[in-house]
Amino acid sequence: MSLLVCSEVGIAFGATTVLTGLDLRLEADDRLALVGANGAGKSSVLDCLAGAAEPALGSIERQRRLRIAYLPQEAPAPVADTVLAEAMASRTDLSALRLEMTRLEERLRTPGPDADRALNRYGEAQAAYEGLGGYDLEARARAVLHGLGLTEAEQGRPPRQLSVGQVRRLEMAKLLLQDADLLLLDEPTNHLDLEAIEWLEGFLAGTREALCIASHDRRFLDRVCNRVLEIEAGRPHVYEGDYTAYLRQREERRARWLKEWEAQQAHIAHQEEFIRRYRAGQRAREARGRQTKLDRLERVLEPPTPERMRIQLQAAPSARVVLRAEGLVAGRGDRPLVRVPDWLVSRGERLAVIGPNGAGKTTLLHTLVGLLPPVAGAIHLGARARLRVYRQDLADLDPDRTVLESVLQEHPEVGPERARTALGAFLFTGDEVHQTVGSLSGGERARVALARLALDDANCLVLDEPTNHLDIPTMEVLETALQRFEGACILVSHDRFFVDAVATQTWTIAEGELRPPRVARAAPVGSRPGSAPARPASPPPPRATAPDAGPAPPGGGRRGRQAAARERRAAGALEGRIGAAETVLRELEAQLADPATYRDHARAAELSRRHGALREDLDGLYAAWSSGEDGAAG
């Protein structure tokens, strides 16, 4: 029996519907990834699955006694005095049994008439407590917290003293201790460093529970999930396989959808031309019949064009060597954090710096751009070199300024009109440019920062966690822009997919030192397949048709009547062939639209080959019918 069944579920924000038609079954062995652009409704779907919110449409049925554990993006207020106690307190069922056992122990110390009943109940509670792992809870909690990077000393600290990243680890530990049947995780890798992310991957890969995960970490999804639910243009699409398989299947589905839409547009154009030609002629009755069928035809929606940012990064000319560090030590005050070997950064290089949280990555970047003084050593810029920093905390954005004012503050030379045009490329249109920065979401604030970056022509970009708050489509656009950037780039990121796609070298901070690079992998896990052919911006024009000659002139004689009859028979035969071909094409497209088809690769390839051949044949039949060339039809 399925753990959970969604039937025609719809989700709305006020009067705005963001998702309709979600039909989904979650089985015990499912590890479902939930992907889509920011604002698509991923967190709302998780809220509904968890029972924290009700869908606007449809229904969700849950297996009886289904245990669900949910990790939202925002952490609740702590209830215990230490990190370890907070983790253990998350098992409210065990806490309730432990409290009941303590009260029964108090009662059993004083003999009374209900002692036997209390003893029996104590035995039941103790058995339940043991069966649920109560006696092992502290050891398990310590192990999970340690695995997520919280040391024994940190486990004894008050939860309110933890950093944002440490709080995220604590919330993850609480989730993993629940012994639930279904784990719902909303951006579980946020604020985790690489070591913690890799530990979490291994843990989830070995867990028995079903998973539903909303995440922008593509490598994480590739390694953990076996199904993908994509929300695109308000509609859900389910794909079988990991994230890489999803990318391939999505392109195939979009290509099929486009072909189906184009085929229907051609069919409609063919029918409309027939109706126009014969509306008042001898075949008027047939034309009216075709019009009725056309009116009843279920139209294939035009495939949407995904709305994406457009980023083009310009680099002003500079010397080959942009930056040189000699004996550099970066730190806070007099406390050294990172010792840097003699370092050269040249144009065209994209250097990634990775390491655990607290290792000093941000401190190093701030030292390079002059936001912090070096503890020791020196930084030399090359001729005409100019650095530009992208801050992880976006602290250089004034929350009281509007989006437009934020751009003009940095680039007054561009003027309001060019600034509005630039912001349009980052999906800020109309009155959206007059919103205050403080009222924006994290993803929207990141887009403002990227818009300011794109208007600069700095030849060395210093980027601190640039993918934070970005959805996957925006990350892909940023990756492409950085790959094409002609200047130098130094970046810090916990997103391994992004690092593999962008970096030419990867440096690691370990034990207080910046260590030599690894060459970026040539074929990173989860690399995107080639993109599908571009879709035309507007429907294809109706196929060219021969001018309407009108009815045959009278007095054509017997030969004329015989020729006209032959033409009608040939046209009827050609239309019959077109109708038969369209029927077979629809059957093939229905099979190609079924995900089960792709479990047999040979069959899928044969169906795809037949579909392509039939489309070519049908194009020829349309052309023959439109031109009236009987010979071509034969």
Tell me if 320 sits within 8 A of 291, measured CB to CB. no
277 and 154 assigned to the same domain: no
Looking only at the bridges linking them, the beta strands covering 182-186 and 68-71 are parallel
469 and 330 assigned to the same domain: yes
- The pLDDT assigned to 179 comes to 81
257 and 158 assigned to the same domain: no
Backbone φ, ψ for residue 2 (5° rounding): -65, 145
Q: At what angle do helices 243-278 and 601-627 cross, to 10 degrees?
A: 20
User: Does some domain include residue 528?
Assistant: no
User: Does some domain include residue 535?
Assistant: no
- The pLDDT assigned to 165 comes to 72
User: In the structure encoding, which two tokens stand for residue 185, read together?
Assistant: 């995780």
User: Alpha-carbon distance 103 to 97, whole Å?
Assistant: 10
How many structural domains compose the chain? 3
User: Alpha-carbon distance 57 to 315, whole Å?
Assistant: 50
25 and 89 assigned to the same domain: yes
User: Does some domain include residue 296?
Assistant: yes
pTM of the model: 0.69
140 and 195 assigned to the same domain: yes
CA angle in degrees (0–180, nearest 5) for 136-137-139: 70
CATH number of the domain at 23, please. Answer: 3.40.50.300
- The pLDDT assigned to 529 comes to 35
Looking only at the bridges linking them, the beta strands covering 505-510 and 513-519 are antiparallel
| DSSP track, 440-475 | S-HHHHHHHHHHHHHT---SEEEEESTTTT--HHHH
32 and 107 assigned to the same domain: yes
* Sequence-distant (≥ 6) Cβ neighbours of residue 164 within 8 angstroms: 191
User: Alpha-carbon distance 629 to 634, whole Å?
Assistant: 9
User: Does some domain include residue 314?
Assistant: no
440 and 466 assigned to the same domain: yes
282 and 378 assigned to the same domain: no
- The pLDDT assigned to 469 comes to 85
| DSSP track, 36-50 | E-TTSSHHHHHHHHH
- The pLDDT assigned to 605 comes to 60
154 and 179 assigned to the same domain: yes
294 and 239 assigned to the same domain: no
284 and 342 assigned to the same domain: no
89 and 210 assigned to the same domain: yes
Q: Which residues of the chain have pLDDT under 50?
A: 519-556, 595, 598, 629-634
| Residue 223, CA atoms < 13 Å, CB-side half-sphere | 18
Tell me if 83 sits within 8 A of 170, measured CB to CB. yes
* Sequence-distant (≥ 6) Cβ neighbours of residue 595 within 8 angstroms: 238, 239, 240, 249
User: Does some domain include residue 438?
Assistant: yes
463 bridge partner residues: 390, 491
Which domain-ending residue is among 220, 244, 268? 244
* Sequence-distant (≥ 6) Cβ neighbours of residue 16 within 8 angstroms: none
Range of the domain at 396: 321-519
User: Does some domain include residue 315?
Assistant: no
User: Alpha-carbon distance 121 to 107, whole Å?
Assistant: 12
User: Alpha-carbon distance 212 to 35, whole Å?
Assistant: 11
Dihedral Cα 197, 199, 205, 210, nearest 10 deg: -70
* Sequence-distant (≥ 6) Cβ neighbours of residue 181 within 8 angstroms: 3, 28, 63, 66, 67, 68, 209, 210
Tell me if 233 sits within 8 A of 208, measured CB to CB. no
User: Alpha-carbon distance 32 to 27, whole Å?
Assistant: 10
- The pLDDT assigned to 201 comes to 87
User: In the structure encoding, which two tokens stand for residue 392, read together?
Assistant: 């992880």
User: Does some domain include residue 543?
Assistant: no
User: Does some domain include residue 236?
Assistant: yes
